[in-house]
């Protein structure tokens, strides 16, 4: 984190000083910049690279860095208003509009402003990421024979597919696994393969906004099926299949996003039986199995491990347990659907870059991997406990019905009938969520409103609070204190 801050500060200073040099003029040497600003050579190198990317500096190996010559004047802006008509006309015949709303995804990807506590993050803080192990794995991978060529199979490296298959368990074999570029890509491939445009797809309610965006972009109609503390409710799932004729149900049976629920043992077989009777597939998004907390008991196996009939299409990933840029995941299926999944992936992306696959193999086969998972497991438990205690002490009005033993967030329900701005009584609906989110940002903490997690009208107002993207438990305490200030502004009192 400190290194990133130093790079940004150095870029700002050098950008201001560029006017001292004529176009083509040489900047001080890297060594001189290191001595002057008392930063590392890596910081100087990254700062110059950023300026070069902005077109302000030109670097010449062995010669140094030079101020770039002015760019030619920009061409006058064109008139793109015709696209509004073209794009609207293109979707006129669609049964379901395919306009894409990526806001729910961007919330967890965009970095908040400097100084803001990040309770809306979707990935591990850099201090929790295995950066050294990943760097070493990538370096070793880059030296492997053939590492920079095509993978020997478009489905992925056989050894990596075998590793994922062992993790899924049951009768899943390496031949039934495809390597994909992250869970989001795998989910998009699965929905394209299983549901034609215009048809319904059953989803948990609430559920991951990124999955809802994928479904809508593909022209599908998400139909909500409520979840409770034990996961999806089988009776309502059966009703939804009968009412809609859907042939796909997307779920997260383990540490569901956002509720943190785990599908109860007695419901697992029932969900598979209901889907099988409907002639439907279950897309299992097993996204945080490797982010189990230290105090959790034995984890249930993936649904795919208990499915001999090919009902389950399984998605799992290394990304959440490593880094947002380590986009290596697996898509597993049995039967004829596997060939359709494979064909769609090849058409869309060709294959996952081989150096990244080789690095994944190096990482998960190294002694650093189990050490990393143990460290993250302990740290996530400590952070979860810190956030839970802080909320119950400082914001008891927020109802925390379930405290998960895995994952990286909490899902508190906001109070109903609380005062609005100025003490005006109101039900705390989605408008209240938006007001609280804005007030929280003003107070210096970024949170995620609950509305994007519902495909229909939500039954209550919620916020999602992540404890993985912050620096430490001290930052959690400060973030909750700032959130209390925001709540007082919105609720009154």
Q: Which helix (H) or strand (E) holds 411?
A: none
Would you state the pLDDT for residue 92?
Answer: 55
Residue with the larger pLDDT of the pair 201 and 100: 201
CA nearest to 260, candidates 439, 387, 411: 411
pLDDT at 433 over 50: yes
- Cα of first residue to Cα of last residue in the chain, in angstroms, is 37
pLDDT grade for 493, boundaries at 50, 70 and 90: low
Residue with the larger pLDDT of the pair 190 and 96: 190
- The domain 130-366 is placed in CATH, from the list 1.10.3680.10, 3.40.50.300, 3.40.640.10, 2.60.40.2240, at 3.40.640.10
pLDDT in tens, 316-373: 999 999 999 999 999 999 999 999 999 999 888 888 899 999 999 999 999 999 999 9
- The domain 2-67 is placed in CATH, from the list 1.10.10.10, 1.10.3720.10, 1.10.150.120, 2.60.40.1930, at 1.10.10.10
Would you state the pLDDT for residue 84?
Answer: 67
User: Is 3.40.50.2300 the CATH classification of the domain at 103-122+371-491?
Assistant: no
pLDDT in tens, 89-120: 655 566 666 666 776 666 666 777 788 999 99
pLDDT grade for 432, boundaries at 50, 70 and 90: confident
Report the chain's mean pLDDT, rounded to a whole number: 88
Separation of alpha carbons 303 and 312, rounded Å: 7
pLDDT grade for 306, boundaries at 50, 70 and 90: very high
Separation of alpha carbons 205 and 455, rounded Å: 7
Residue span(s) of the chain under CATH 3.90.1150.10 come to 103-122+371-491
Would you state the pLDDT for residue 326?
Answer: 93
User: By percentage, how much of the chain surpasses pLDDT 90?
Assistant: 63
Would you state the pLDDT for residue 4?
Answer: 52
pLDDT at 410 over 70: yes
Kindly provide the residue ranges of all beta strands, DSSP E only, lying in 176-310, ordered along the sequence. 177-180, 200-205, 221-228, 231-232, 248-251, 281-286
Please name the residue ranges forming H helices in 54-101. Answer: 82-90
């Amino acid at each position: 984190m400190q290194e990133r801050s130093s790079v940004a500060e150095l870029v700002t200073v050098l950008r201001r000083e560029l006017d001292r040099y004529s176009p083509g003029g040489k900047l001080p040497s890297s060594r001189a910049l290191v001595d002057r600003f008392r930063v590392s050579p890596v910081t100087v190198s990254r700062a110059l690279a950023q300026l070069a990317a902005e077109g302000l500096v030109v670097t010449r190996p062995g010669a140094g860095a030079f101020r770039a010559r002015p760019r030619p004047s920009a061409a006058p802006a064109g008139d793109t208003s015709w696209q509004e008509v073209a794009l609207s006309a293109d979707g006129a015949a669609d049964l379901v509009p395919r306009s894409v709303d990526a806001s729910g995804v961007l919330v967890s990807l965009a970095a908040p402003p400097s100084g803001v506590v990040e309770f809306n993050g979707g990935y591990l803080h850099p201090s929790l990421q295995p950066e050294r192990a990943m760097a070493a794995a990538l370096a070793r991978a880059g030296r492997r024979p053939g590492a920079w060529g095509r993978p020997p199979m478009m489905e992925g490296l056989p050894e990596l597919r075998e590793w994922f298959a062992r993790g899924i368990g049951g009768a899943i074999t390496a031949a039934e696994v495809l390597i994909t570029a992250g869970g989001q890509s795998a989910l998009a491939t699965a929905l394209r393969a299983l549901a034609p445009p215009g048809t319904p797809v059953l989803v948990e309610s609430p559920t991951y906004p990124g999955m809802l965006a994928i479904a809508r972009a593909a022209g599908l109609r998400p139909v909500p099926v409520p979840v409770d503390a034990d996961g999806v409710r089988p009776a309502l799932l059966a009703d939804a299949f009968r009412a809609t004729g859907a042939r796909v149900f997307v779920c997260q049976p383990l540490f569901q996003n956002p509720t943190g629920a785990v599908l109860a043992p007695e419901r697992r077989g029932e969900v598979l039986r209901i889907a099988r009777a409907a002639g439907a597939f279950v897309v299992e998004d097993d996204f945080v199995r490797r982010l189990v907390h230290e105090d959790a008991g034995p984890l249930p196996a993936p649904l795919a491990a208990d499915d001999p009939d090919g009902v389950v299409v399984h998605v799992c990933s290394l990304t959440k347990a490593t880094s947002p840029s380590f986009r290596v995941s697996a898509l597993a299926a049995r039967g004829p659907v596997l060939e359709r999944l494979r064909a769609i992936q090849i058409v869309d992306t060709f294959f996952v870059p081989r150096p990244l696959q080789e690095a994944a193999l190096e990482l998960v086969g190294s002694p650093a991997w189990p050490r990393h998972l143990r460290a993250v497991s302990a740290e996530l438990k400590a952070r979860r406990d810190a956030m839970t205690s802080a909320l119950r002490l400082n914001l008891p009005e927020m109802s925390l019905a379930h405290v998960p033993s895995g994952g990286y967030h909490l899902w508190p329900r906001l109070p109903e009938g609380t005062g609005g701005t100025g003490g005006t009584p109101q039900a705390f609906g989605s408008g209240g969520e938006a007001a609280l989110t804005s007030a929280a940002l003003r107070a210096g903490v970024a949170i995620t409103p609950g509305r994007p997690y519902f495909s229909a009208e939500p039954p209550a107002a919620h916020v999602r609070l992540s404890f993985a993207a912050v620096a430490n438990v001290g930052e959690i305490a400060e973030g909750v204190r700032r959130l209390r200030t925001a709540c007082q502004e919105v609720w009154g009192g």
